[in-house]
């Protein structure tokens, strides 16, 4: 029987840092400098039969990507039963080696089997993004999903959305009551997906939330990692460099907010999950560069942050200027941000690099 630890309090455990999924090739850092992976494994086994477990906290994560893995690890350490999905068998194997219970899911073809498994879980986190031209893949079969879950154990669901649904607000502060005005196709589909998941939650009679996340960063995915990998900015990034304000949030604070919404139920459906400091990307990269140079002076060349100046005006992506307010997240969910600004977030990421770039202390 799976032991289960249930608490009404927000756990104060620090986030557990992971190594990034792929080790970057940096010519100036020898292979031997990389640390070995040192993760503790809480192996529930690939063929976990949840219906036989006596545990009232069971989380199913649709899409074990960046957020899914961090959150899963956090919950596992607190005694939850956690399972999740990915799309291919290589990743499934990798995730199972990390101790996760994983099911393959191609959301283009939602199968009876996965819904049969899902209905044994009490909580559902949706991390799969919508697809342009289609929308939310799971909700393409909303009625089927509803019919499968209606007599199940689900009590809570949360759909991870994006602050992109607000569109361009000319730099104004926006809260959850600000009328969404998505300016691109994907953001429109996000809004549809938000409505769909809230509708499903209401139809099932369960607690359902939408979290509008700012740009997600954390160990393995941050300005520090981008600079150390010496990756050029993507075309999309270049076209967005002129943005004055970018909402962002550290992965540890997303996990905090998720747990808060589980343990402190509220009637509100939608929350902005962002930090206090919607600084420009240039400012964040400049700070990351300074941190790196202080730590490994001889190691890195300065990354050219002027990229984008050569992008023709017509090709620039609408920047959607806004400053997203997190007041409700603090007032109603009681979240006290671990990283109110990118400064503490990046500093912590650097501090947990165990002596060498890309080696995170566990």
Ligand X SMILES: NC(=O)c1ccc[n+]([C@@H]2O[C@H](COP(=O)([O-])OP(=O)(O)OC[C@H]3O[C@@H](n4cnc5c(N)ncnc54)[C@H](OP(=O)(O)O)[C@@H]3O)[C@@H](O)[C@H]2O)c1
Span near ligand X by CB under 6 A; candidates 24-32, 149-157, 208-216, 225-233: 208-216
CB of 217 to ligand X, least distance (A): 7
Q: Which is nearer to ligand X, 165 or 204 (CB)?
A: 165
Stretch 37-56: interaction string toward ligand X, x if CB under 6 A: --------------------
Of positions 59, 160, 206, 284, contacts ligand X by CB under 6 A: 160
- The answer to whether 252 contacts ligand X (rule: CB under 6 A) is no
Number of residues that bind ligand X (CB under 6 A): 24
Q: Choose, by CB under 6 A, the member of 81, 107, 257, 359 that binds ligand X.
A: 107
Which tokens in the block code for residue 181?
């005005």
Tokens linked to 183: 């300016």
- In this structure, the strands spanning 123-126 and 58-62 are parallel
Give me 340's structure tokens: 């109110």
Distance separating alpha carbons of residues 128 and 145, to the nearest angstrom: 15
Alpha-carbon dihedral sign for residues 193, 116, 51, 90: negative
Position 213 contacts ligand X (CB under 6 A)? yes
Return d(Cα 345, Cα 253) in angstroms, integer.
Answer: 10
Choice from 15, 64, 204, 349 touching ligand X (CB under 6 A): 64
290's enclosing H/E stretch is helix 281-295
Nearest alpha-carbon partner for 85 in 112, 118, 119: 118
Question: What's the CA gap between 163 and 79, in Å, rounded?
Answer: 32
- Closer of 64 and 145 to ligand X (Cβ): 64
Number of residue whose CB is nearest ligand X: 65
Contact flag: residue 118 with ligand X (CB under 6 A): no
Positions that interact with ligand X (CB under 6 A): 63-68, 85-88, 91, 105-108, 127-129, 137, 160, 162, 213, 215-216
């Amino acid at each position: 029987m799976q032991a289960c630890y249930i608490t009404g309090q927000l756990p104060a455990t620090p986030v557990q840092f992971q190594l990034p999924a792929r080790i970057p090739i940096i010519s100036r850092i020898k292979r031997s400098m990389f640390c070995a992976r040192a993760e503790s494994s809480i192996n529930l086994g690939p063929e976990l039969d949840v219906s036989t477990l006596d545990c009232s906290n069971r989380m199913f994560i649709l899409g074990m990507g960046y957020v899914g893995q961090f959150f899963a690890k956090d919950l596992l350490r607190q005694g939850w039963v956690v399972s999740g999905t990915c799309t291919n068998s290589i990743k499934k194997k990798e995730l199972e080696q990390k101790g996760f219970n994983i099911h393959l899911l191609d959301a283009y073809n939602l199968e009876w089997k996965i819904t049969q498994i899902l209905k044994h879980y009490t909580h559902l986190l949706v991390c799969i993004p919508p697809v342009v031209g289609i929308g939310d893949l799971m909700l393409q079969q909303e009625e089927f999903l509803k019919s499968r879950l209606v007599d199940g154990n689900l009590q809570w669901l949360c759909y991870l959305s994006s602050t992109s649904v607000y569109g361009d607000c000319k730099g104004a502060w926006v809260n959850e009551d600000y009328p969404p005005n998505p300016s691109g196709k994907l953001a429109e589909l996000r809004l549809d997906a938000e409505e769909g998941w809230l509708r499903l939650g209401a139809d099932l009679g369960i607690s359902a939330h939408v979290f509008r996340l700012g740009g997600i960063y954390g160990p393995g995915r941050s300005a520090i990692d981008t600079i150390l990998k010496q990756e050029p900015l993507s075309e999309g990034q270049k076209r967005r460099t002129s943005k004055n304000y970018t909402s962002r949030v550290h992965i540890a604070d997303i996990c905090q907010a998720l747990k808060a919404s589980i343990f402190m139920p509220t009637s509100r459906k939608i929350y902005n999950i962002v930090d206090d400091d919607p600084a420009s990307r240039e400012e964040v990269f400049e700070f990351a560069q300074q941190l790196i140079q202080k730590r490994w002076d001889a190691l890195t060349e300065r990354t050219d942050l002027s990229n984008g100046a050569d992008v023709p005006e017509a090709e620039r992506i609408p920047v959607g200027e806004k400053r997203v307010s997190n007041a409700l997240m603090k007032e109603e969910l009681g979240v006290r941000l671990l990283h109110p600004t990118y400064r503490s977030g990046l500093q912590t990421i650097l501090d947990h690099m165990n002596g060498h770039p890309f080696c995170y202390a566990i």
